[in-house]
Amino acid sequence: MKIYIQTDLEGIAGFCFFENRRDAGIENIRHRHRMCQLLTNEVNAAVRAAFDSGAKEVIVNDSHGSGYNILFEQLDPRCRIIHGRNCSGPHWLPLLDSSFDAVIMVGMHAMGGTPAAITPHSRWQVNGGDIYMSECSMAAAIAGDYGVPAVFVSGDDKTVAEVSAKISGIKAVVVKEALSPYQACSMIPAQACQMIYENVKEAVVGYDRIEPYKIQGPVELVLLDSPDHCPPLRKIGEPVTADNISEAFMLYEKAMPWNKFNTVDVDGFIFP
């Protein structure tokens, strides 16, 4: 059995807001490291659960921001990790293909415009508003194009509600109740890790009982967001149309100036 773990940071227990990246003070540095440690612990709980449920291969995608968030030297040594500058490789979900049996999503956040969700952003509008998708449900839909089911999600209550409504039977752990974009009532991290471990085990064992999440094509896609992740949302870029959600997403992402897929030359880039 082969498992792909998609990760983000905003949906972990204990996270309520980003550090101030312009502040080099020790408190700010400690905040960033602390969040990375909490993320690492939750991801490791999912990795261990996957192997303990019979997985032979587990690949983790460090998909938040810089791509260097997970303290990978602390992970279960049986897994492998995709990390480094995000969107400089071949795909937003590198190496994901039909050879995987299931996708697990840890630390997910709500789509832009979701009331009282923790730091909501990235609202994907499909076919003029027939469907709205978060980064989490987008990952599930891309996996669905490969015939791979998304079987587990963790995050705040708003995130889990959105994904659970789209994917029948998905195992889910609400690690915090979001009270505002910057405040939550959270599980203690150790308890969140235990819940993730137990539910990922069940999800992996029963992976074949969940249908892949598929969006019927053709697909028109546009991103709604704002520079500071706060309302009002506006269209970012121009809509694209393709035969399926995977093609539409990659066409759109490749047109965004902050992405440099299939990077060949060293360009001196330093992530902010």
CATH of the domain at 88: 3.40.50.10780
Would residue 265 count as lying in a domain? no
**How many domains are contained in the chain?**
1
Nearest to 32 by CA among 6, 46, 14: 14
Would residue 155 count as lying in a domain? yes
- At residue 227 the predicted structure's pLDDT band, cuts being 50, 70 and 90, is low
Would residue 25 count as lying in a domain? yes
For residue 174, which amino acid is it? V
SS (H, E, C) 182-248: CEEEECCHHHHHHHHHHHHHHHHHCHHHCCCCCCCCCEEEEEEECCCCCCCCEEEEEEEEECCHHHH
Which pLDDT value is given to residue 20?
Answer: 66
Whose structure tokens read 């409504």? Answer: 165
Q: How far apart are CA 142 and CA 267, in angstroms?
A: 29
Tell me: the pLDDT tens digits for 85-118?
988 899 999 999 999 999 999 999 999 999 999 9
Which pLDDT value is given to residue 128?
Answer: 95
Diameter of the chain by CA atoms? 50
Angle between helices 135-145 and 157-166 (to 10 degrees): 30
Which pLDDT value is given to residue 31?
Answer: 86
Higher pLDDT, 250 or 27: 250
> What domain range includes position 17?
2-111+134-213
Which range has the worst mean pLDDT, 82-96, 166-180, 185-199? 82-96
Sequence-separated (6 or more) residues with CB below 8 Å from residue 66: 85, 86, 271
β-pair type (80-82, 102-108): unpaired
Q: How far apart are CA 9 and CA 18, in angstroms?
A: 10
Which pLDDT value is given to residue 26?
Answer: 80
Would residue 197 count as lying in a domain? yes
- At residue 18 the predicted structure's pLDDT band, cuts being 50, 70 and 90, is confident
Helix locations, the chain, DSSP H:
26-52, 135-145, 157-166, 189-205, 245-254
Paired strand residues for 186 = 176
Looking at the whole model, is its pTM more than 0.75? yes
